[in-house]
Structure 1
């Protein structure tokens, strides 16, 4: 029988007429066939219904002028007409539909569709990856698996949700066609809905009473008084609904059932409010991806329970059943999407990381002359520290070590310099954009008013001016000081920091005509990545309450005293993100080029504007005045200018894009602000290089 079915399906697919395809498919319907063959037959029928093109179109033709839902509805209506003209076919098709519903596990669809099986995020990620590689077999007696094979297109949600009432009535009549009273699927579907509701409420209650959720409820009394929690009362409310339903089945009045259902709805609403409190607690006190995953899954279960309850209470409302079916199809499709899982569970963590960057970035925007001059001083200090970094870097490269060891030592050199700048409150220009971009994105929340637009534009102008000051402060100090160090090095040690050949190679490597712009852009990516790691470290510190653990640690209190332990905790809280970001940035600048070369044979070199400017200063000190008359030097200077632009622009663009996405802002709304920025630039161009006054204005 299976070989026969396969042969007929191949002939049906090869036929030229859509009507002939349907006739061939309906003719082989067999209600007594094995489960797998009936499942495959239904899958082919549904694929024919949502196939593109007009009903009578040839295989190479299409009807793009007709909307997809209308096409599917037309095909479904035609199939029902064909069955009405062929009672034998209709009997077999109705028998197949009833048998599949009777023999398949309906709870797998009603309760589990779209719900991850694993309790942790990474388990769910592995599950989705495996399911994308291995689709379910048609002989699995689960409606959820059958729906995955039948509805594979995103358009299915649209045409199912828009099914007209007359088609829904004809589909219901098809299910009941030729069935005995005890075989009608309506009552069985109602029992499946009730069982799925029971399952969902138990799962919601179990998660809500877990330590993960219970300790993060906003009300302190709710954590101690368990009986006052809606999660505790939810299962008892569901049992009361089932008892009232049983009484109605035995002839009692439905008033009690309506009362119990309304009370169940109230508890579900209270559970949703409690979930919002949990998310607020996570946002204030640190985000865990696994906790977000569990709470988000509980929110999905609450929404599913409400949909099932609506459908169960209105068994004659076919539109409600169609909406439920469309929601199940959509959830089933979303449960296979890895990107959907990542977006849903990392959005809160991304927002938390962005908020840390926004709070930090506010300190890097000079809005008046006093802050502008302070930024220049901080940048000059960063340039002085970078002088030592450049000299140590040349010493490491001059030792000709293995690439991985050289990269590690270079990373330690960079990280040490960045940490020194951090604790001395100096500034490295290119580290700022990834911090300041979220600050601008946060100001977009109030950009819907003229005052909000003016504030946003003012911040943009101040940011551009501050970045220019930081870059100039770094470069104008590091280049001449490196030059002076080399000029002093030669008479003192009777040698150069680098050889003349190395000096020429350094200038050539910075040339704008080479891969310098690409390397500068990739360096901007590393700068942005370090800001993400800084935000993650800050979130980890708060989430695990490391500060409290330090402040109340018995050994620390005995050694430092209670006040000393508190000061240590506050110091760690203030510097954990900065330390993590600086160490990660330094190690990435040193190790990433070595790793790319070793494992991917990709020649990448760090192109950082401040470090490169210092290298040019050393090279000039070695070569003397000769390079001033050659194009080699000026192409290198142009390359350093491109580094300044690309280091800042790439890291800023990535951080700003992430910040906008984390705040669910529309791109069109962001673009509308560009014109306001350009109008301010053309009207007051001097504000880009010098603050207008002491007032905080752009």
Structure 2
């Protein structure tokens, strides 16, 4: 009975809200009948009536459809609506709307970044004489693009068909609009010609001699097109240019930019190059769109198709202009090449962490065991450094160096830290998911093969780290106790070490922080790998005169190649160690319970705690600590893998939606071949 009453109340409230929204919309439409009303205010009222009241309001599309029905059925209202819209467009400047809306500005990456941040604090003052600025007054909420994007394209096309039937063109100042479109084409062409011969873009061009003339020719052809079209507007119909040659050159420039993007995935990229590429591509697309709109009549394009082309163009520009102050949207535009390049480097690294054969499996065990030995020694160094009770910054520096230099040593010696794997292997899985077609059983089986290999590789690395770090810590602690005549770790510190891995303490949140750092370290490694390739770090190091005098030219070149190949791993591991070492200090300064927990170090600390108690410790306490170590490891791996997979899918613009099918295939494989997720395949390759 209570449920029924609540449902009735909700229906009445929803119906009342919907009726109120419809009344506001009809009132806003009726105001268009007044020929003296201010167009900008009318449009602001209309959008306010169409805008959903909250994120869960699904009635905005219904109101949009109601507006179209009302305009179609009421000739007087339709005439007033058209009159105000035509006057609004005709009385304002359109040039910046055509050249800047939806296109990155020429100020550069960081200047635009600071402009967006500054606009959050002190909003810009719009110029109501420009259509571009008026859009921010009409769509005055930053999230208006969300409900605008949800409006079906068919409704948007219908709106423009109502607004611009063939007879309406006679009422418009078409010449004024066309003149501003022509100016926009010319301005955009000059802009792209300048960007196309920028040194950064030409450096990344695969064929400089063939590519540069295309961008120069674009400006010349645009000038010729504009001159001819204006002559046609002045009455010389024979001079009208359909823009075919201009569109051909635009296509050639776009092909050049595509090749540069593809090459950037190999030679590396930078934020500046990504900015140039994105701005050039957006400008070329805009030139093509404006040219097709201008020449629709010359191409005998049906009026309905011309309206649809304009509707699609206007919809895209409105959405982009509303998102102009969105930092997230800005980063999405520029992160494409750089993010893919960074994650591709991580994906290639991830392939080395996957055990396909028994030999790979054995190597993984040995590699992880070597890391376990060093981690046990690093954990002891950290315990001894903490016992010095040094000033906060000095202690953070010592911890950072112990972690950072230790991880670099592990990397250069070819050893494996288990928690580094998820951030790398997630990239490899993401590259496979992007090509997955769930209807093809062979592709599902391939994913299952890789998932099984990742699982057994991860288990081997964890076992190698933990099963070596723990006994080595016990052996080192016991040996030092015998040599010094007292425990290597005192009782108070042993209690503290056990408390740190207590599953009911802050251990799990702290493990999540470490998992986030593991994810970041994967991106850092990919970034520096990209930077090393893009900046030619190896050859530049090989050319150092002091190094050539010290080691000889050939050895200097080999040193440069060695550093270039490993720069990503060195920086990723060192900065990961610095993040681990400084988090506790940051937490103390901020008064927040911030710290890190890492499975390998947690297992070593458990070993030192046992020796600190001189082995007189209850077995229940040891098991409880082992549970804490296991949960810390699970959190480390889960957080880093989830973040890395999400980032890799986003970088590749993969909207994977077949998780159910994929999980079903993995479950079938696990039921049929559980051994493949734990151990390598037999030597003969039989399942």
- CA change 1:696–1:365 in 2 (3 A) is farther
- Retained in 1: the 8 A contact 2:587–2:595? no
Which position in structure 2 is the counterpart of 1:30?
36
Matched, 1:454 2:435: no
Deviates more, 1:192-201 or 1:244-253: 244-253
Q: Partner residue of 1:196? A: 184
Residue 668 and residue 95 in structure 1: after superposition, are their counterparts in 2 closer, same or farther (change >3 A)?
closer
Count of paired positions: 649
Distance 1:17 1:295 in 2: 45
Deviation at 1:538, TM superposition (A): 1.0
CA distance in 1, matches of 2:451, 2:445: 10
Deviations 1:606-626 (A, max 9, x none): 211111111111111121343
Q: Secondary structure at the match of 1:340?
A: helix
| Closer/same/farther in 2, CA of residues 622 and 266 from structure 1, 3 Å limit | same
Q: 1:186 aligns with which of 159, 174, 180?
A: 174
Deviation at 1:43, TM superposition (A): 3.1
**Match of 2:9?**
none
1:118-167 deviation digits (Å, cap 9, x = unpaired): 43112222223344555555653111011222245334464773225751
1:247-268 per-residue CA deviation (whole Å, 9 max, x = no partner) reads 43454453x5346x11001001
* Equivalence for 1:233: 217
Q: Deviations over 1:156-186 (max 9, x none)?
A: 464773225751346963x866xxxxxx511
Q: 1:506 to 1:246 in 2, by over 3 A?
A: closer
Q: Distance in 2 between matches of 1:612 and 1:118?
A: 51
Aligned equivalent of 2:333, options 344, 353, 363: 344
Distance 2:125 2:36 in 1: 20
Cα distance, 1:665 vs structure 2: 2.5
Counterparts of 1:262 and 1:326 in 2: how far apart (Å)? 25
Shift in alpha-carbon separation, 1:113–1:397, aligned structure 2, 3 A:
same
1:425 and 2:420 are equivalent in the alignment? no
Closer, same or farther in 2 for the Cα pair 1:268/1:49, shift >3 Å? farther
Aligned to 1:44: 44
Q: Is the 8 A contact 1:430 1:647 kept in 2?
A: yes
State the distance in 1 between where 2:22 and 2:248 align: 56
Partner of 2:8: none
Q: Of the two, which has the highest radius of gyration?
A: 1
Q: Normalising by the residue count of structure 1, what TM-score does the alignment of the two structures yield? A: 0.86
Confirm or deny that 1:686 pairs with 2:675: yes
- Tell me which residue corresponds to 1:70: 65
Give how far 1:99 is off: 5.3
Let me know the Cα RMSD of the aligned residues.
2.9
Say whether the 8 Å CA contact 1:552–1:565 is kept in structure 2.
Answer: yes
Given the alignment, which residue of 284, 288, 298 partners 1:306? 288
Q: Quick check: 2:101–2:317 contact (8 Å CA) kept in 1?
A: yes
Which position in structure 1 is the counterpart of 2:612? 622
1:110 aligns with 2:98: yes
Query: CA 1:150 to 1:429, structure 2 compared with 1: closer, same or farther past 3 Å?
Result: same
Query: In structure 1, how many angstroms separate the alpha carbons of the residues matched to 2:24 and 2:467?
Result: 77
Pairs within 5 Å for 1:470-549? 470-549=461-540
**Cα distance in structure 1, aligned partners of 2:635 and 2:265:** 33
Say if 2:33 and 2:76, in contact at 8 Å, map to a contact too: no
The separation in 1 between residues aligned to 2:448 and 2:236, in whole angstroms, is 68
Instruction: Give SS of 1:141's match.
Output: coil
Equivalences for residues 41-440 of structure 1 within 5 A: 41-47=41-47, 50=50, 64=59, 67-77=62-72, 81-82=76-77, 90=80, 100-132=88-120, 137=125, 140-151=128-139, 153-154=144-145, 155-156=147-148, 158=151, 161-163=156-158, 167-169=162-164, 173=168, 184-222=172-210, 226=212, 229-254=213-238, 257-258=240-241, 261-314=243-296, 317-440=306-429
Secondary structure of 1:626 counterpart: coil
- 2:25–2:46: 8 Å Cα contact kept in structure 1? no
CA distance in 1: counterparts of 2:523 and 2:24, whole angstroms: 57
In structure 2, do the counterparts of structure 1 residues 268 and 114 end up closer, same or farther at CA, with 3 Å as the change threshold?
A: same
Provide, for residues 297-325 of structure 1, a one-character-per-residue CA deviation record: whole Å limited to 9, x for no partner.
11111111111111111256444433333
Q: CA deviation at 1:64?
A: 3.6
The equivalent of 1:8 in structure 2 is none
Asked whether the 8 Å contact 1:436–1:463 carries over to 2, the reply is: yes
- What CA distance in whole angstroms lies between the structure 2 residues aligned with 1:45 and 1:484? 77
Matching residue of 2:588: 597
| Cα distance in 1, alignment partners of residues 558 and 126 from structure 2 | 64
Contact 1:248 1:257 (8 Å CA) reproduced: yes
- What secondary structure sits across from 2:312 in the alignment? helix
**Partner Cα separation in structure 2 for residue 436 and residue 65 of structure 1:** 43
Looking at structure 2, the residues matched to 424 and 107 of structure 1 have their Cα atoms a distance apart, in angstroms, of 61
Is residue 216–residue 277 contact of structure 1 (8 Å, CA) maintained in 2?
Answer: no
In structure 1, distance between residues paired with 2:126 and 2:71 = 23
Contact 2:105–2:279 under 8 Å retained in 1:
no
**Aligned-pair CA distance for 1:232:** 0.7
2:626 to 623, 637, 662: 637
- Equivalent pair of 1:486/1:618 in contact (CA under 8 Å): yes
* Stretches of structure 1 lacking an aligned partner (at least 5 in a row): 1-12, 32-37, 54-61, 85-89, 178-183
Compared with structure 1, are the counterparts of its residues 571 and 671 closer, same or farther at alpha carbon in structure 2 (3 Å cutoff)? farther
Preserved CA contact (<8 Å) 1:378 1:426: yes
8 A contact 2:28–2:42 mirrored in 1: no
Residues 64-117 of structure 1 show CA distances to partners (whole Å, capped at 9, x for unaligned) of 496354123134446752475xxxxx5xx8776565444422101122112233
Are the structure 2 counterparts of residues 571 and 253 from structure 1 closer, same or farther at C-alpha, using a change threshold of 3 Å?
Answer: same
For 2:417 and 2:170, the matched residues in 1 are separated by 75
Q: 1:596 touches 1:603 (CA, 8 Å); kept in 2?
A: yes
In the superposition, relative to structure 1, how do residues 387 and 298 fare at CA in structure 2: closer, same or farther (>3 Å)? same
Aligned partners of 2:70, 2:334: CA distance in 1, in Å? 39
Residues 368 and 695 in structure 1, CA contact (< 8 A), matched pair in contact too:
no
Alpha-carbon displacement from aligned partner over 1:266-290 (angstroms, at most 9, x marks no partner): 0010011011012122221112112
Give 1:9's aligned residue.
none
Q: Offset of 1:48 from its aligned partner?
A: 6.1
Q: Is the 8 A contact 2:525 2:571 kept in 1?
A: yes
Instruction: Determine helix, strand or coil for the equivalent of 1:149.
Output: helix
User: Partners in 1 of 2:571 and 2:192 — Cα distance?
Assistant: 38
Change (3 A) 1:632 1:198: same
TM-score, reference length from structure 2 = 0.87
